[in-house]
Amino acid sequence: MKLDLLYEIDVPKPWAGEHPYAQRREEQRAYREALDQIRHADTLGFNTVWCVEHHFRENRSHMPCSEAVLGALSQITQNLRLGFGVTLTPHPFIHPARLAEKVATVDVLSDGRVEWGTGRSTPMEQTAFGVDRDLSRHQWRAAIDTVVKMWEQEYYEEHSEFLDFPRRMVTPKPVQDPHPPCWMAAVSEDSATLAGEAGLGVLAMSIMRPLEETRRLVERYREAQKRPKPLTRVRTNKVAAYTLVHCVEDRKDLDRKDIWRSVWWWYQNLAEFALEWELPHYSPAERDKAFPLLQARARGEVDLATFDREAMIIIGTPDECLEKIQRYADVGVDQVICYKQFGYIASEDVKRSMTLLGEHVIPRLNAASKAAAPA
């Protein structure tokens, strides 16, 4: 079991003051603090930091240019692997040549530390970029094939359904031979099956689902890995699941530091955003199913005690966090991705949480892994 990090650059409202530049100042602060936190984590034994690509998402996810952030991190870290979590891959989002260029550049700058996550996003972003939802999965698969060939071939040319590209040398080539490991974002069991059959690592959201649902997703993924038709020459058989994670020395600190308020904010903001921007794009049946749950969470009816008890979030003392992380290992998760910079938590408290995980949890996970490894 490994511990990773996830960064979206949360910038929760209300932004300080009425000044017209208040948003810009808060975004600068959030970026500055994120880089400082990740540099701190680089010394503590964390495995990978994943940076998202999201567009037009106020409050949560002010990070549309993950390649810029990962490029900066390549120069201030030495140990962490640097994950694109994920690049929005269908062609209307970005030309495959640009995708190949930016991922390879970060691999060069980091001396071969890149993990390449891929995805199709949601209707809110798809419609803004002119992505056809029905074609997005075909475009995603075709774009991965194109990007990998651009890396592996000295010169590349393609004339296909989605791309008309003349013979060109795409530079730079990645440091990792033949290319960085490839992952896929998966929310449903069907998506996990697709990732497994394609020989891709799977990036799963566990923050909204009981661990028993995560277990079923993992089982479907492992079964699919037994009948692979690898999409690339680098086959990855790993499950990484992300959730909110915060570690404290004393459980009373959760109230003293107002941590529960930030957890509540995350769930409520996600629901409010989905109601306003995502739900109108779905079918009536999909809306009827999701609307009551989203409405309840938008009103703040969030059962944090159940989420905490069922390890849907990992919050507590080092011993409590270790016990919950072990539950993820028990359902087959290889890497728990810790969402650290969420809500209103002070940056120093985020760093202290990282320190506690690095000093008291990660060494015990490493020891357990060594003990379980075959001779």
- Does 266 reside within a domain? no
List the single range of 83-87, 100-104, 197-201, 369-373 with lowest mean pLDDT. 369-373
For residues 282-304, give the mean pLDDT: 81
Please report the pLDDT score of residue 282 as a whole number.
Answer: 86
For residues 276-302, give the mean pLDDT: 83
CB neighbours of 46 closer than 8 A, spacing ≥ 6? 3, 4, 5, 80, 338, 354, 357, 358, 362
Please report the pLDDT score of residue 190 as a whole number.
Answer: 95
The count of domains in the chain is: 1
Please report the pLDDT score of residue 375 as a whole number.
Answer: 53
Residues 91-113 pLDDT 10s = 999 999 999 999 999 999 999 99
Please report the pLDDT score of residue 299 as a whole number.
Answer: 84
Answer positive or negative: Cα dihedral of 126, 301, 314, 44. Answer: positive
The yes-or-no verdict on residue 31 having pLDDT over 80 is yes
- Percentage of the chain beyond pLDDT 90 is 84
List the single range of 207-216, 252-261, 286-295, 343-352 with lowest mean pLDDT. 286-295
The yes-or-no verdict on residue 267 having pLDDT over 70 is yes
Model confidence band, residue 15 (pLDDT cutoffs 50, 70, 90):
confident
Q: Which of 21-25, 206-210, 218-222, 307-311 has the highest mean pLDDT?
A: 218-222
Model confidence band, residue 18 (pLDDT cutoffs 50, 70, 90):
low
- Does 280 reside within a domain? no
The yes-or-no verdict on residue 28 having pLDDT over 90 is yes
- Does 272 reside within a domain? no
Model confidence band, residue 284 (pLDDT cutoffs 50, 70, 90):
confident
Please report the pLDDT score of residue 374 as a whole number.
Answer: 66
Q: Which two tokens stand for residue 239?
A: 């499950």
- Does 300 reside within a domain? no
Domain range for 182 is 2-253+307-372
Please report the pLDDT score of residue 298 as a whole number.
Answer: 81
- Does 281 reside within a domain? no
The pLDDT mean for the chain works out to 94
- Does 330 reside within a domain? yes
Cα separations in angstroms, 353 against 14, 243, 265, 299: 25, 15, 19, 29
Task: List the beta bridge partners of residue 156.
Answer: 168
Q: Report the CATH number at residue 213.
A: 3.20.20.30
How close are the terminal C-alpha atoms of the chain, in Å? 18
- Sort 97 into a burial class: Cβ within 10 Å, 0-12 / 13-18 / 19+: middle
The yes-or-no verdict on residue 16 having pLDDT over 80 is no
Residues 126-152 pLDDT 10s = 999 999 999 999 999 999 999 999 999
Model confidence band, residue 17 (pLDDT cutoffs 50, 70, 90):
low
Cis status of the peptide bond prior to 172, with omega within 30 of 0: yes
For residues 354-358, give the mean pLDDT: 98
For residues 66-71, give the mean pLDDT: 98
Task: List the beta bridge partners of residue 239.
Answer: 202
- Does 113 reside within a domain? yes
Please report the pLDDT score of residue 207 as a whole number.
Answer: 79
* More confident call, 132 vs 19: 132
CB neighbours of 177 closer than 8 A, spacing ≥ 6? none
- Does 47 reside within a domain? yes
Residues 208-262 pLDDT 10s = 788 999 999 999 999 999 998 999 999 999 999 999 999 999 999 999 999 999 9
- Closest by CA position to 356, among listed 319, 328, 327: 319
